[in-house]
Chain A
Amino acid sequence: MDKDVKVYALSTCPYCRRTKRFLDEHKVPYVATDVDLLDDEKQDDILEEVEKLSGRRSFPVVIVGDEVIVGHDEEKLRKVLGL
């Protein structure tokens, strides 16, 4: 797995936590951003990016190369990450 993995999450969202836990358990390195803990300006930028990528403002969003996975979806994560 040589693609960068990015996770956009909310600190309060249980599904975001499950996604991070899944990646941790499978020892997948990733960079996670809790969007709700950012200052307003950064938050707006990321919310716009999330909307552009996924068509909505739902969390978690996992970005693996060109692939965008919205919501906690272990099946898709396994497929995209080759687990």
Chain B
Amino acid sequence: MTPGQERVYCPVCQAEFRFADGWAEGSSVICPICGQRLVLRRDGARWVGDRADPMTEKEMRERAENFARLRGYRFSDVKEEIIEGLLGKQKLFGDFYCPCRMLHTPEYQCPCKPTRGGDVDRDGRCYCGFFWK
């Protein structure tokens, strides 16, 4: 497979994105879909990104900031309260799930699948009011 056709699997958004020129085992990259920082690892025939600083406030804040920057979104005055809620979710349910819902599956890892799918562009904000257009 030529480098341009290779893909990297992101364990946060459970999707694959294009492997770029210059990347190698151990490279630190940002998932262009969810904003997660990943460290590249070869896993058999495919590339996998391991979460950098997993389960830490640093990881969650960086992911949210990256996602907002990649999409051109902004935060509202509820930002810090939502971050507090995300930390609560991680403590209670094991990961940074949407603090405004009772759903603890990978699709609802922040930024949740509806948000990654364009809810903010359509509605002007995500379900939680964390990301705004």
Chain A: residues with CB nearer than 8 A to chain B? 10-15, 17, 35-37, 43, 47, 57-59
Contact of B102 among A15, A17, A47 (CB under 8 A): A47
Bound: A59/B100 CA distance, A: 7
Q: Which residues of the partner chain B approach A37 to less than 8 Å between Cβ atoms?
A: 92
Q: Give the nearest-CB partner of A17 in chain B.
A: B81
Residue of chain B at shortest CB distance from A36: B102
Residues on the B chain within 8 Å of A47, using CB:
102
The answer on a CB contact under 8 Å between A57 and B102 is yes
Residue of B nearest to A43 (CB): B102
Minimum CB–CB distance from B114 to chain A (whole Å) comes to 14
Q: Taking the complex as formed, is B89 at the interface, i.e. its CB lies under 8 A from any CB of chain A?
A: yes
Contact with A along B57-88 (1 / 0, CB 8 A): 00000000000000000000010011011101
CB of B82, distance to nearest CB on chain A (Å)? 6
